[in-house]
Chain A
Amino acid sequence: MKYIDEFRNKDLIARLAVLIRMSATRPYSFMEVCGGHTAAIHRFGIPSLLPENIKLISGPGCPVCVTGTDFIDKAISYSRMDNIIIATFGDLMRVPGTSSSLEKEKATGADIRIVFSGLESLEIAKSNPLKKVIFLGIGFETTAPGTAVTMMQAKELDVRNLLLLCAHKVMPPAIETIMREGTDIDGFICPGHVATITGSSIFDFIPDNYNIACVITGFEPADILMSILMLIRQVNSKISKVEIQYSRAVKPDGNILARKHMDCVFEKCSASWRGFGPIPESGLALNKEFEEFDAEKKIPVTVTPLQENELCICGKILRGLYSPADCTLFANICNPNNPLGACMVSAEGTCNSWYRFRL
Chain B
Amino acid sequence: MAEYISINHGSGGKLTHALINRVFVDSFGLKLPLTDSAILDCKGSSLAYTTDAYVVDPIFFPGGNIGNLAVCGTINDLSVSGAVPAFIAASFIIEEGFPLKDLTLVSESMAREALDAGVKIVTGDTKVVEKGKCDKLFITTSGIGFLRSGLEYLSEARLVKPSDKLIINGPLGNHSIAVLGARNNLSFTTPVTSDCASLNELIRTVMDSCPSVHFMRDLTRGGLAAVLNELTAMTGLGIVISESSVPVDDPVRGLCEMLGFDPLYLANEGKVLMVVGDDDSEKVLEILRAHHLGKQSAIIGEIAPEKNKTVIIQTSVGGKRILDMPSGQQLPRIC
Contact = CB atoms under 8 A, between A and B. Distances in A.
Contact of A45 (B250, B260, B315): B315
B319 A358 contact: no
Contacts of B262: 43
Interface string B319-334: 1111010011000000
Q: Which of B185, B321, B324, B328 has the most CB of A within 10 A?
A: B321
A43 B321 contact: yes
A231 B313 CA distance: 28
B317 to A, nearest CB: 4
A43 B320 CA distance: 9
B17 interface: no
B253 interface: yes
A48 interface: yes
A45 B320 contact: yes
Nearest to B258: A116
A4 interface: yes
A106 to B, nearest CB: 11
A46 interface: yes
Interface residues of B, number: 25
B310 to A, nearest CB: 8
A10 B253 contact: no
Given A4-B257, A336-B327, A337-B327, A43 B315 contact: yes
A261 interface: no
B275 interface: no
A359 B317 contact: no
B254 interface: yes
Contact of B320 (A116, A337, A359): A359
Contact of B186 (A42, A116, A222, A336): A116
Interface in A1-56: 1, 4, 8-10, 13-14, 17, 42-49
B247 to A, nearest CB: 14
Contact of B317 (A45, A347, A357): A45
Contacts of A357: 321-322, 324
B236 to A, nearest CB: 19
Nearest to A47: B319
Contacts of A358: 321-322
Contacts, number: 69
Contacts of A116: 186-187, 259
Interface in B231-283: 244, 250, 253-254, 257, 259-260, 262
A120 interface: yes
B316 interface: yes
B324 A355 contact: yes
Nearest to B324: A356
Given A1-B253, A1-B254, A116-B186, A336 B328 contact: yes
A221 interface: yes
Contacts of B185: 120
A42 B186 CA distance: 29
Contacts of B260: 347
A126 interface: no
A48 B186 contact: no
A94 interface: yes
Interface string A226-250: 0000000000000000000000000
Contacts of A8: 316-317
Nearest to A220: B317
A47 B322 CA distance: 12
Given A1-B254, A4-B257, A48 B319 contact: yes
B311 to A, nearest CB: 11
Given A1-B250, A116-B186, A14 B327 contact: no
Contacts of B254: 1
Nearest to B319: A45
A127 to B, nearest CB: 11
B205 to A, nearest CB: 34
Interface in A120-140: 120
B192 interface: no
A49 to B, nearest CB: 5
Contact of A49 (B257, B319, B322, B327): B319
B312 interface: yes
A46 B321 CA distance: 9
B318 A49 contact: yes
B322 A10 contact: no
Contacts of A336: 327-328
Given A4-B257, A116-B186, A120-B187, A44 B315 contact: yes
Contact of B322 (A9, A94, A356): A356
Given A336-B328, A347-B260, A13 B322 contact: no
Nearest to B254: A1
Contacts of A44: 315-317, 319, 321
A221 B319 contact: yes
A42 B321 contact: yes
A221 B321 contact: no
Given A49-B317, A49-B318, A356-B322, 5 more contacts: A8-B317, A14-B318, A43-B321, A221-B319, A358-B322
29 contacts: A1-B250, A1-B253, A1-B254, A8-B317, A9-B317, A10-B244, A13-B317, A13-B318, A14-B318, A43-B262, A43-B321, A44-B315, A44-B316, A44-B321, A45-B320, A45-B321, A48-B320, A116-B259, A120-B185, A120-B187, A221-B317, A221-B319, A336-B328, A337-B328, A355-B324, A356-B322, A356-B324, A358-B322, A359-B320
Interface of B: 185-187, 244, 250, 253-254, 257, 259-260, 262, 312-322, 324, 327-328
Which 10 residue pairs spanning A and B have beta carbons closest together?
Answer: A45-B319, A336-B327, A45-B321, A357-B321, A13-B317, A45-B315, A48-B320, A221-B317, A356-B324, A45-B320
